[in-house]
């Protein structure tokens, strides 16, 4: 509260939402997560936040953060990770890019959610130029082995 009131005194008409100064009088549209709408950001690689949980990622994320590669790391079905809603949000967000850039989705775990999503939306993925990587390589280090993939930029 103190930080908000100090912010309001030093910047009349402005407040903080998730650490971002906003103008409550402004009619500019906002995403459902409180992030001001702005131009898209293009990156090579983006990690989908919070283990691909639906708590922090919506279609607006994929409209704004346009990556050649998205990493999906969720592997906790009890907590909804990865979230089917987030994977669907990728399709929705990408469909609004207006350009047919290649996107590669890199799941770090083979989960039932990602397998079902892949099978049920495969046609839409092809239409949107989205490829899902399945790792066919295994790295062996000391007493453990795990799937791996190589990405070149």
pLDDT of residue 34: 55
Using CA atoms of 66, 44, 56, 80 in order, give the dihedral in degrees to the nearest 10. 110
- 80, part of any domain: yes
Structure tokens that stand for 37 in this block: 């709408």
Tens-place pLDDT, residues 107-129: 888 888 889 999 999 999 999 99
Q: What is the mean pLDDT of the chain?
A: 77
- 25, part of any domain: no
Q: If you average pLDDT over residues 39-52, what whole number do you get?
A: 87
Residue 22: pLDDT over 50: no
DSSP 82: S
- 58, part of any domain: yes
Give the pLDDT band (50/70/90) at residue 80.
low
- 135, part of any domain: yes
- 27, part of any domain: no
- 153, part of any domain: no
Give the pLDDT band (50/70/90) at residue 103.
very high
Using CA atoms of 123, 124, 130, 135 in order, give the dihedral in degrees to the nearest 10. -50
3-state secondary structure of 87: helix
pLDDT of residue 33: 54
Domain of 69, in residue numbers: 41-142
Residue 75: pLDDT over 50: yes
- 21, part of any domain: no
- 95, part of any domain: yes
Tens-place pLDDT, residues 82-99: 889 999 999 999 999 988
How many domains are contained in the chain? 1
Q: If you average pLDDT over residues 127-153, what whole number do you get?
A: 81
β-pair type (65-72, 103-107): parallel
Residue 148: pLDDT over 80: no
Residue 16: pLDDT over 50: no
């Amino acid at each position: 509260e103190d930080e908000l009131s100090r912010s309001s005194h030093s910047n009349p008409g402005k407040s903080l939402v998730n650490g971002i100064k906003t103008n409550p009088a402004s009619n500019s549209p906002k995403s459902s997560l409180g992030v001001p709408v702005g131009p898209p950001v293009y990156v090579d690689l983006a990690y989908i936040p919070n283990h691909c949980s639906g708590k922090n990622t919506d279609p607006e994320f994929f409209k704004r953060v346009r990556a050649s590669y998205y990493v999906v790391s969720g592997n906790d079905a009890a907590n909804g990770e990865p979230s089917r809603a987030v994977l669907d949000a990728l399709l929705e967000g990408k469909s609004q890019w207006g350009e047919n850039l290649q996107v590669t989705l890199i799941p770090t775990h083979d989960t039932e959610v990602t397998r079902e999503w892949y099978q049920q939306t495969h046609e839409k993925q092809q239409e949107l130029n989205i490829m899902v990587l399945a790792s066919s390589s295994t790295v062996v280090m000391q007493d453990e082995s795990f799937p791996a993939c190589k990405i070149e930029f």
